[in-house]
Amino acid sequence: MNNKLKLGIPKGSLETKTVDLFKRAGWSISYDNRSYFPDVNDDELSCTLVRAQEMSRYVEDGTLDMGLTGKDWIIENGSDVVEIQDLIYSKTSVKQARWVLVVREDSPLRTLEDLEGKRIATELRCFTERYFKERNINVHVEFSWGATEAKVVEGLVDAIVEVTETGSTLRANNLKIIHELMRTNTVLIANREAWNDPWKRQKIEQIRTLLNGSLQAMGKVGIKMNVSQQNLDRVIQLLPSLRAPTISNLYSADWLAIETILDANSVRDLIPLLQEVGAEGIIEYPLNKVI
Ligand X SMILES: Nc1ncnc2c1ncn2[C@@H]1O[C@H](COP(=O)(O)OP(=O)(O)OP(=O)(O)O)[C@@H](O)[C@H]1O
Ligand Y SMILES: O=P(O)(O)OC[C@H]1O[C@H](OP(=O)(O)OP(=O)(O)O)[C@H](O)[C@@H]1O
**Can you tell me the distance from the alpha carbon of 280 to that of 282, in angstroms, rounded to the nearest whole number?**
5
Residue number with CB closer to ligand Y (173 or 231): 173
Question: Amino acid identity of 255?
Answer: W
What's the CA gap between 286 and 291, in Å, rounded?
15
What is the three-class DSSP state of 273?
helix
| Residue 240 beta carbon to ligand X: minimum distance, rounded to whole angstroms | 27
Q: Where are the alpha helices (DSSP H) in 26-174?
A: 52-60, 71-77, 125-134, 148-153, 168-172
Site for ligand Y in 93-132 (CB under 6 A): none
38 binds, among Mg ion, ligand X, ligand Y, none (CB under 5 to 8 A by kind): none
Over the window 65 to 84, marking each residue x when it contacts ligand X by CB under 6 A and - when it does not, the resulting string is -----x-xx-----------
What gap in Å lies between CA 59 and CA 64, rounded to an integer? 5
Per-residue interface string for the shown chain with ligand Y, residues 7-26, x marking contact by CB under 6 A:
------x-------------
Residue 167 touching ligand X (CB under 6 A): no
Contact between 184 and ligand X per CB under 6 A = yes
Minimal distance in Å, beta carbon 1 to Mg ion?
Answer: 38
Q: Which of 19, 109, 139, 163 binds ligand Y (CB under 6 A)?
A: 163
Which of ligand X, Mg ion, ligand Y, none lies near 168, with the C-beta cut-off 5 to 8 A by kind?
A: ligand Y
Angle, vertex CA 187, rays to CA 42 and CA 159, nearest 5: 140
54 binds ligand Y (CB under 6 A): no
**Which run of H or of E encompasses 22?**
helix 15-25
Residue among 149 and 158 whose Cβ is closer to ligand Y: 149
Please, which residues bridge with residue 189 across strands? Answer: 67, 83
Assess 14 for contact with ligand X (CB under 6 A). yes
Report in angstroms how near the CB of residue 13 gets to Mg ion at its nearest. Answer: 5
Question: Of ligand X, Mg ion, ligand Y, none, which one does residue 167 interact with (CB within 5 to 8 Å by kind)?
Answer: ligand Y
Q: What ranges make up the beta strands (E) of 31-71?
A: 39-40, 45-51, 66-70
Encode burial over 91-111: b for 16+ CB neighbours within 10 A, e otherwise: eeeeeebbbbbbbbeeeebee
d(CA 96, CA 53): 17
**Residue of the chain from 44, 54, 129, 165 that contacts ligand Y (CB under 6 A):** 165
Examine residue 212 and tell whether it contacts ligand Y (CB under 6 A): no
Residues of the shown chain interacting with Mg ion in the complex, contacts defined by CB under 5 A = 13
Task: Enumerate binding residues for ligand X (CB under 6 A).
Answer: 12-14, 52-53, 70, 72-73, 90-92, 97, 146, 163, 165, 184
